[in-house]
Homo-oligomer: A and B are copies of this chain.
Amino acid sequence: MTEFLKSELNKVKRGPKRANYDVATLYAILDDAFLCHVGYIFEGKAIVIPTAYARKNDKIYIHGSLKNRMMLSILSAGEACVSVTLLDGLVLARSAFHHSANYRSVNVFGTVKKVDNPKEKMDALACILNHMVPGHWDNVRQPNDKEFNATLVLEISIDSASAKIRAEGVNDEVEDHKLPIWAGVVPIRQIAFEAISDKDLPEETEVPEAVLRYVENNR
Protein backbone atom coordinates (compact mmCIF):
# COMPACT_ATOMS: atom_id res chain seq x y z
CA MET A 1 0.00 0.00 0.00
CA THR A 2 1.43 3.39 -0.94
CA GLU A 3 -1.65 5.49 -0.11
CA PHE A 4 -4.14 5.38 2.73
CA LEU A 5 -7.71 4.83 1.54
CA LYS A 6 -10.05 7.72 2.20
CA SER A 7 -13.03 7.25 4.50
CA GLU A 8 -15.33 9.53 6.49
CA LEU A 9 -12.83 9.17 9.33
CA ASN A 10 -9.57 10.24 7.71
CA LYS A 11 -10.69 12.29 4.70
CA VAL A 12 -9.55 15.91 4.96
CA LYS A 13 -12.65 18.09 4.51
CA ARG A 14 -11.36 21.60 5.07
CA GLY A 15 -8.56 22.69 2.73
CA PRO A 16 -8.53 19.45 0.65
CA LYS A 17 -5.67 20.71 -1.54
CA ARG A 18 -3.47 20.47 1.56
CA ALA A 19 -4.46 16.84 2.08
CA ASN A 20 -1.95 14.04 1.63
CA TYR A 21 -2.52 10.30 1.93
CA ASP A 22 0.90 9.11 0.75
CA VAL A 23 2.24 6.51 3.19
CA ALA A 24 5.92 7.52 2.89
CA THR A 25 5.06 11.21 3.42
CA LEU A 26 3.00 10.41 6.51
CA TYR A 27 5.68 8.15 7.97
CA ALA A 28 8.31 10.89 7.45
CA ILE A 29 6.20 13.36 9.47
CA LEU A 30 5.63 10.80 12.23
CA ASP A 31 9.38 10.16 12.36
CA ASP A 32 10.24 13.86 12.44
CA ALA A 33 8.09 14.83 15.43
CA PHE A 34 8.66 13.94 19.08
CA LEU A 35 5.28 14.36 20.76
CA CYS A 36 1.85 13.16 19.76
CA HIS A 37 -1.56 14.09 21.17
CA VAL A 38 -3.88 11.15 21.87
CA GLY A 39 -7.65 11.45 22.18
CA TYR A 40 -9.75 9.32 24.50
CA ILE A 41 -13.26 9.37 25.89
CA PHE A 42 -13.80 9.83 29.63
CA GLU A 43 -17.36 10.11 30.94
CA GLY A 44 -18.62 11.08 27.50
CA LYS A 45 -15.98 13.78 26.95
CA ALA A 46 -13.15 13.73 24.40
CA ILE A 47 -9.92 14.33 26.32
CA VAL A 48 -6.52 15.03 24.76
CA ILE A 49 -3.18 14.06 26.31
CA PRO A 50 0.34 14.62 24.93
CA THR A 51 2.84 11.76 25.05
CA ALA A 52 6.07 10.50 23.49
CA TYR A 53 5.82 7.79 20.85
CA ALA A 54 7.69 6.00 18.11
CA ARG A 55 6.75 4.49 14.77
CA LYS A 56 7.95 1.11 13.56
CA ASN A 57 6.59 -0.02 10.18
CA ASP A 58 2.81 0.44 10.34
CA LYS A 59 2.62 0.64 14.14
CA ILE A 60 2.94 3.44 16.68
CA TYR A 61 4.11 2.60 20.19
CA ILE A 62 3.38 4.58 23.33
CA HIS A 63 4.28 3.76 26.92
CA GLY A 64 3.38 4.82 30.42
CA SER A 65 2.44 3.70 33.89
CA LEU A 66 0.18 0.69 34.39
CA LYS A 67 -2.50 3.08 35.73
CA ASN A 68 -2.30 5.74 33.00
CA ARG A 69 -5.96 6.71 32.41
CA MET A 70 -5.45 7.67 28.77
CA MET A 71 -3.70 4.41 27.95
CA LEU A 72 -6.24 2.25 29.80
CA SER A 73 -9.09 4.12 28.07
CA ILE A 74 -7.83 3.63 24.52
CA LEU A 75 -6.94 0.01 25.35
CA SER A 76 -10.47 -0.58 26.54
CA ALA A 77 -11.91 1.26 23.50
CA GLY A 78 -9.64 -0.85 21.26
CA GLU A 79 -8.96 2.16 19.05
CA ALA A 80 -7.44 5.61 19.16
CA CYS A 81 -6.81 8.78 17.21
CA VAL A 82 -3.28 10.14 17.40
CA SER A 83 -2.42 13.63 16.16
CA VAL A 84 1.11 14.80 15.34
CA THR A 85 1.80 18.40 14.33
CA LEU A 86 4.98 20.17 13.26
CA LEU A 87 4.88 23.96 12.96
CA ASP A 88 7.11 25.23 10.15
CA GLY A 89 6.21 28.90 9.84
CA LEU A 90 3.83 31.79 10.41
CA VAL A 91 2.19 32.99 7.22
CA LEU A 92 1.59 36.71 7.64
CA ALA A 93 -0.65 37.97 4.87
CA ARG A 94 -1.73 41.48 3.89
CA SER A 95 -5.25 40.58 4.98
CA ALA A 96 -6.15 39.27 8.42
CA PHE A 97 -8.28 36.60 6.70
CA HIS A 98 -5.40 35.02 4.80
CA HIS A 99 -3.13 34.64 7.81
CA SER A 100 -2.13 31.01 8.16
CA ALA A 101 0.66 28.71 9.24
CA ASN A 102 3.00 26.40 7.43
CA TYR A 103 2.78 23.01 9.09
CA ARG A 104 2.84 19.27 8.65
CA SER A 105 0.22 17.35 10.59
CA VAL A 106 -0.86 13.73 10.62
CA ASN A 107 -3.93 12.07 12.06
CA VAL A 108 -3.68 8.35 12.69
CA PHE A 109 -6.71 6.18 13.37
CA GLY A 110 -5.69 2.83 14.72
CA THR A 111 -6.44 -0.33 16.59
CA VAL A 112 -4.96 -0.47 20.08
CA LYS A 113 -3.36 -3.57 21.58
CA LYS A 114 -1.32 -4.15 24.73
CA VAL A 115 2.18 -5.39 23.98
CA ASP A 116 2.62 -8.46 26.21
CA ASN A 117 5.33 -10.44 24.47
CA PRO A 118 8.55 -9.56 26.37
CA LYS A 119 10.78 -9.33 23.30
CA GLU A 120 8.26 -7.23 21.41
CA LYS A 121 7.81 -5.02 24.48
CA MET A 122 11.56 -4.51 24.93
CA ASP A 123 11.87 -3.71 21.21
CA ALA A 124 9.07 -1.14 21.51
CA LEU A 125 10.81 0.53 24.48
CA ALA A 126 14.06 0.65 22.48
CA CYS A 127 12.15 2.10 19.56
CA ILE A 128 10.61 4.88 21.72
CA LEU A 129 14.01 5.80 23.20
CA ASN A 130 15.72 5.71 19.80
CA HIS A 131 12.96 7.96 18.47
CA MET A 132 14.09 10.56 21.05
CA VAL A 133 17.79 10.21 20.19
CA PRO A 134 18.59 7.77 17.38
CA GLY A 135 20.94 5.00 18.51
CA HIS A 136 20.96 6.02 22.20
CA TRP A 137 19.29 2.83 23.53
CA ASP A 138 22.58 0.96 23.35
CA ASN A 139 24.26 3.58 25.59
CA VAL A 140 21.95 3.30 28.58
CA ARG A 141 21.15 0.87 31.37
CA GLN A 142 18.28 -1.19 30.09
CA PRO A 143 15.13 -1.83 32.14
CA ASN A 144 15.37 -4.30 35.02
CA ASP A 145 12.43 -6.62 35.76
CA LYS A 146 10.78 -4.20 38.15
CA GLU A 147 10.97 -1.30 35.71
CA PHE A 148 9.93 -3.48 32.79
CA ASN A 149 6.89 -4.80 34.63
CA ALA A 150 5.87 -1.33 35.80
CA THR A 151 5.64 -0.10 32.19
CA LEU A 152 2.58 -0.46 30.01
CA VAL A 153 3.32 -0.48 26.28
CA LEU A 154 0.57 -0.09 23.71
CA GLU A 155 0.72 -0.71 19.99
CA ILE A 156 -1.49 1.44 17.78
CA SER A 157 -1.68 0.03 14.28
CA ILE A 158 -1.85 2.73 11.62
CA ASP A 159 -5.06 1.44 10.01
CA SER A 160 -6.09 4.73 8.49
CA ALA A 161 -4.39 8.11 8.36
CA SER A 162 -4.18 11.42 6.59
CA ALA A 163 -1.81 14.35 6.56
CA LYS A 164 -2.38 18.03 6.06
CA ILE A 165 0.60 19.98 4.80
CA ARG A 166 0.95 23.68 4.06
CA ALA A 167 4.37 24.67 2.75
CA GLU A 168 4.10 27.83 0.72
CA GLY A 169 4.08 31.61 0.80
CA VAL A 170 1.29 34.10 1.32
CA ASN A 171 -1.98 33.60 -0.58
CA ASP A 172 -3.53 37.05 -0.54
CA GLU A 173 -6.27 38.25 -2.89
CA VAL A 174 -4.59 39.65 -6.00
CA GLU A 175 -6.35 43.03 -5.55
CA ASP A 176 -4.62 43.34 -2.16
CA HIS A 177 -1.14 43.17 -3.74
CA LYS A 178 -1.15 46.91 -4.42
CA LEU A 179 -1.79 47.76 -0.74
CA PRO A 180 1.14 49.32 1.12
CA ILE A 181 1.02 46.40 3.58
CA TRP A 182 3.88 44.03 4.23
CA ALA A 183 3.38 40.27 3.87
CA GLY A 184 5.70 37.34 4.28
CA VAL A 185 6.56 34.15 6.10
CA VAL A 186 8.38 33.78 9.42
CA PRO A 187 10.04 30.34 9.40
CA ILE A 188 9.72 28.43 12.69
CA ARG A 189 11.75 25.45 13.78
CA GLN A 190 12.30 23.44 16.92
CA ILE A 191 15.98 23.26 17.71
CA ALA A 192 18.21 21.47 20.20
CA PHE A 193 20.94 23.12 22.25
CA GLU A 194 24.18 21.65 23.54
CA ALA A 195 23.61 18.86 26.10
CA ILE A 196 23.98 19.83 29.77
CA SER A 197 25.69 16.95 31.56
CA ASP A 198 24.33 15.74 34.92
CA LYS A 199 26.42 16.98 37.86
CA ASP A 200 26.82 13.51 39.39
CA LEU A 201 28.64 11.85 36.50
CA PRO A 202 31.89 10.00 37.22
CA GLU A 203 34.82 12.08 35.96
CA GLU A 204 35.66 11.74 32.29
CA THR A 205 32.22 10.44 31.31
CA GLU A 206 31.87 11.78 27.80
CA VAL A 207 28.74 12.81 25.94
CA PRO A 208 27.94 9.84 23.69
CA GLU A 209 28.27 10.09 19.91
CA ALA A 210 24.48 9.56 19.48
CA VAL A 211 23.70 12.62 21.63
CA LEU A 212 26.32 14.80 19.92
CA ARG A 213 24.93 13.76 16.54
CA TYR A 214 21.35 14.47 17.64
CA VAL A 215 22.26 17.99 18.74
CA GLU A 216 24.29 18.56 15.56
CA ASN A 217 21.36 17.43 13.37
CA ASN A 218 18.84 19.58 15.25
CA ARG A 219 20.70 22.79 15.92
Contact = CB atoms under 8 A, between A and B. Distances in A.
Give the dominant DSSP class at A's interface: mixed
Interface string A31-60: 000110111111111111110100000000
Interface of A: 8-9, 13-14, 34-35, 37-50, 52, 64-65, 67-69, 77, 79-83, 85, 87, 90, 92-97, 99, 101, 103, 105, 107, 109, 125-126, 129, 132-133, 136-137, 139-144, 147, 151, 169-170, 172, 176-202, 205-208, 211, 214-215
22 contacts: A9-B43, A41-B41, A41-B44, A45-B79, A90-B132, A90-B133, A90-B192, A94-B141, A141-B179, A181-B205, A182-B201, A182-B205, A184-B196, A184-B197, A184-B211, A185-B196, A186-B192, A186-B193, A186-B211, A187-B193, A188-B193, A189-B190
